[in-house]
Structure 1
């Protein structure tokens, strides 16, 4: 009661109502027997979380559905019936260790924590809508280390020879699918941005494509969403002349809202179908022709961004082409170490040491006599 009243002594009537009349000087016997007010109902984590999700405004319905699914599968079975005010850091550590024991990926645990659970605890630390006291004074996830995340190296197409092997294999397997794969490699667009690219987004004169819509999976179905992943997703990407000819030929006289790249049945490509029926065959043929290692389709995006970085493209341009909010995201995740910079490094070292001035001659050194007394 003292905390509720801002760390001040509670009013006499509240003390009497709660059965503490003996603490009020001069209170008569009648007031001392006043029935206490019913204590507030205990708020469980599940009750508070469902109310919190109901009041969320910003996320779209699919995002809210994803949050709810995570809670029901990974959180409510362990914490749902616990009073949200009593959950401790130890409980949260044990809960997280349980997710690790279930073999959930570190990235998945990070998403469950950061996007779904932590905001609920943060909301519980705020006063209620009618200025009710906060249910918590701290977020029990703060200070709890995330599981170590080990990113497997993304295999990229490193040089012109490897790019040629992939492109030639694609056109041998399916020229229609090869046009889409060529665009993925030449623009660095995400799958949903490329598969959902409309004719009206292509500007042949400027040699660019604009990201105006994306294909996104919702309720296990791919749907056209009239907005990129983030506001930074709205961007214009330069396209090489040879690739623009391929794209322009596909546009032809199609309607402005039509897809540039279409599957055999006429609709947009489904990621799973393209990957299983086209990409795996392309990769197998390229490997048979000499391509090293196993490339992933998303590695094509990594490949382009790595090439541009190694060629000295400025950071702002690189971030814009990638559609990222921060340059650090582009460099930390998408730019990889390659051998493309080796010639430049060798030349820079030669210039620094004056190695081009002429050959060095090795002078023989007299052997030192390390015998005692010498």
Structure 2
């Protein structure tokens, strides 16, 4: 590397791949340029050297390089949601900036834009870009954090500018719990065809996708148990995919009562082991959007307007807690990634927490990313919902 005059200013040059290239330019005098040169050479000797030109790559151009490798490690549902965030919220708002132009102040301004949205001035009440919820905003920031972390690892920039961002707080959603008599009233309001599904959900705490994706080969009616090995998801294009459970501990065996066994027995007659346990009256897979239409009617008829399907999972947890089942066993039954998640969601329902549980929670928290823990707890509280087009796609 060396310093040379470039018109009225000075620049720092080097030979890269046999060609002379400009690393930096615009230094007002030779002394300041040489000081900078000394710093660059010292970084080079320490192995900390970052080519100043690398940071001039735009965010959009870096996304094109980074995304193909990043998406290979994602589940189809995550690939869909994160891809939407990249296309709708990262590239349009930050894509024109160079990587080294993205600082904490820029990111804070971006967060505000996501939260406030962009009204359509030509159409009152409409949006060019709708405001995002706190959860979706945090998810967008998490994606940008990964993007910039990869840029640091690729030596495009020196530090990740996302480290000190102030993010909107997640507001816990109110959970509803049914008593056993109330669950019986709901069961009576549900049409006969759907009663086994509703009964299984409230009796096992399965996630929606785990229940509707259950195959006969993973169901032991006589033994009163099932094995969760996959979950069904609906993609934005309407296609159905089957993936692994949400967490590593989501692959589990769940037991159920003889009453549930009796309800499920008719569903296994004249079916192959690879068939779905639950189908529509016409034999098709159960789609949550279609099921919810009936769900709203049945819950209203039973006097439980506003009850979510995911509240059946919360109900199962509440029943177990009221029965003094250890928190560790509840966590395993629900398929949470750790006991810390279970405690964070349902700990307030415990009449008392013994020292053993406190130690288990403390040990679990030591190995958990706080942001990842908060995200999983929020997903559990909200429930598994379908992608909302209004949240990720602006109205035009």
Normalising by structure 1, we get a TM-score of: 0.73
**For 1:60 and 1:161, how far apart are their aligned partners in 2?**
39
| Structure 1 residues 136 and 253: CA distance shift in structure 2, 3 A | same
**For 2:172 and 2:328, how far apart are their aligned partners in 1?**
25
Match of 2:146 among 116, 119, 124: 119
Secondary structure in 1 matching 2:302? helix
Secondary structure in 2 matching 1:236? strand
1:146 alignment counterpart: 167
| Structure 1 residues 222 and 335: CA distance shift in structure 2, 3 A | farther
Note the alpha carbon deviations across 1:305-352, whole angstroms, 9 max, x for none: 1211222212221111111111121232356649xx69xxxxxxxxxx
Contact 2:224-2:255 within 8 A present in 1 as well: yes
Match of 1:45 among 59, 64, 80: 59
Cα distance, 1:58 vs. partner? 1.4
Secondary structure in 1 matching 2:325? coil
Alignment of 1:297-312 (within 5 A): 297-312=309-324
Secondary structure in 2 matching 1:210? strand
Match of 2:308 among 287, 296, 299: 296
2:297 alignment counterpart: 281
Note the alpha carbon deviations across 1:132-183, whole angstroms, 9 max, x for none: xx222222121212102112201221x222122111212xxx1011111111
Q: Please, which runs of 5 or more residues in structure 2 have no aligned partner? A: 3-11, 32-51, 118-130, 353-396
1:31 alignment counterpart: none
**For 1:286 and 1:151, how far apart are their aligned partners in 2?**
26
Kindly name which structure, 1 or 2, has the bigger radius of gyration based on alpha carbons.
Answer: 1
**For 1:213 and 1:62, how far apart are their aligned partners in 2?**
13
Q: Please, which runs of 5 or more residues in structure 1 have no aligned partner? A: 3-9, 24-38, 129-133, 343-374
Contact 1:186-1:304 within 8 A present in 2 as well: yes
| Structure 1 residues 61 and 201: CA distance shift in structure 2, 3 A | closer
Cα distance, 1:62 vs. partner? 4.8
Secondary structure in 1 matching 2:92? helix
Please state which structure has a larger fraction of its residues in strand.
2
**For 1:17 and 1:220, how far apart are their aligned partners in 2?**
48
Secondary structure in 2 matching 1:294? coil
| Aligned residues: CA RMSD | 3.0
2:274 alignment counterpart: 257
Contact 2:13-2:21 within 8 A present in 1 as well: no
**For 1:204 and 1:87, how far apart are their aligned partners in 2?**
57
Secondary structure in 2 matching 1:215? strand
Q: Does 2:122 align with 1:105?
A: no
2:182 alignment counterpart: 162
Secondary structure in 2 matching 1:318? helix
Contact 2:77-2:235 within 8 A present in 1 as well: yes
| Structure 1 residues 45 and 12: CA distance shift in structure 2, 3 A | closer
**For 2:269 and 2:224, how far apart are their aligned partners in 1?**
15
Q: Which structure carries more relative contact order (alpha carbon 8 Å, separation 6+)? A: 2
1:218 alignment counterpart: 235
Contact 1:215-1:222 within 8 A present in 2 as well: no
Normalising by structure 2, we get a TM-score of: 0.70
Match of 1:187 among 200, 204, 215: 204
1:84 alignment counterpart: 99
**For 1:250 and 1:146, how far apart are their aligned partners in 2?**
47
